[in-house]
Chain A
Amino acid sequence: ELKVEQNPLFLSMQEGKNYTIYCNYSTTSDRLYWYRQDPGKSLESLFVLLSNGAVKQEGRLMASLDTKARLSTLHITAAVHDLSATYFCAVDIKTSGSRLTFGEGTQLTVNP
């Protein structure tokens, strides 16, 4: 059974600081997604990482994938309040039959 674990689950940080969210998964995969969810809202796609060593960046967010370590990271640079949200990683494995398994989510709060 595929397990996807994120840490931390809760993250409170100050504006201007840097931090990293980690996503570990238990079965070989070469395809991983990051989503953002604002309170009471739906999920918004942020990144898709399709191969080992893939790195994607958008604004203050940068995501990477290490398939050998079964690890993805979402790095936040110089956080701003607008980044406050819950971030989910989701993993696709070949034997899953066209479905994703989501992590529990990391609730990020950026304080002034």
Chain B
Amino acid sequence: DGGITQSPKYLFRKEGQNVTLSCEQNLNHDAMYWYRQDPGQGLRLIYYSQIVNDFQKGDIAEGYSVSREKKESFPLTVTSAQKNPTAFYLCASSRHTLAGRTDTQYFGPGTRLTVL
């Protein structure tokens, strides 16, 4: 089955630790995205990538890092510099876009990160 997988589903982090959230897709999509959602709020874009080995900062990139070494994978690292990382993290992907446009984004099941 084609789709987007995220792991783990739940993640607990101690203060000062870096953690990496996994996102894999087998939809052959070129573009991938990471969003953060806080309780009762909308989605905020952290990073996005339109092509392998390239990515751009979103609105709240501070304290996060990404890599895009393979088309199907877009891992997100939450670093110790992110002071309030407890949130629901969603990964999405979409087909290759024309310049400046995006196609329907399909979302993974999410990772719920809690800082202890």
Contacts and interface: CB of A to CB of B under 8 A. Distances in A.
Interface residues of B, number: 25
A21 B7 CA distance: 33
Interface string B42-56: 111100101000001
Interface in B7-65: 31, 33, 40-45, 48, 50, 56, 58
A46 to B, nearest CB: 10
A99 B45 contact: yes
Contacts of A33: 104-105
Contact of B43 (A41, A45, A88, A92): A88
B70 interface: no
A96 B104 contact: no
Contacts of B106: 45
A42 B97 contact: no
Interface in B91-116: 92, 97, 100-102, 104-110
A78 to B, nearest CB: 27
B42 to A, nearest CB: 4
Contacts of B102: 31, 92, 96, 98-100
Interface of B: 31, 33, 40-45, 48, 50, 56, 58, 90, 92, 97, 100-102, 104-110
Interface of A: 31, 33, 35, 41-45, 48, 88, 90, 92, 94-105, 107
Which are the 9 A-B pairs with shortest beta-carbon distances?
A43-B107, A104-B42, A102-B43, A94-B100, A42-B107, A102-B42, A98-B102, A98-B97, A92-B102
